[in-house]
Amino acid sequence: MREGIEKNIVIDDMHPETFEKLLDYLYTEKTPFIANADDAIELLVAANTFDLERLKKLCEKFLVSSI
């Protein structure tokens, strides 16, 4: 890359907080804090997008337990 040129990646289909949880999970593999069903659903969609099976299962477990 040439010096002085910045490249940005725009992810506009999820909230920044969800992406932050996703990144934290990727780097630490710790279960993210899920406050409510809406958070779980959004994180589940993100996990599905990036093919993160374990995170998907964690979100599904949260949703089932909240029924």
pLDDT at 12 over 80: yes
Domain that holds residue 35: 16-65
- Is residue 3 in a domain? no
pLDDT at 1 over 60: no
Q: What is the pLDDT of residues 18-63, one digit of tens each?
A: 999 999 999 998 988 999 999 999 999 999 999 999 999 999 999 9
Question: How many domains are there within the chain?
Answer: 1
What one-character-per-residue DSSP string does 10-65 give?
---SS-HHHHHHHHHHHHH-PPPP--SHHHHHHHHHHHHHTT-HHHHHHHHHHHHH
Q: Could you count the other beta carbons within 10 Å of the beta carbon of residue 26?
A: 11
- Is residue 11 in a domain? no
| pTM for the model | 0.81
- Is residue 44 in a domain? yes
- Is residue 21 in a domain? yes
- Is residue 5 in a domain? no
- Is residue 7 in a domain? no
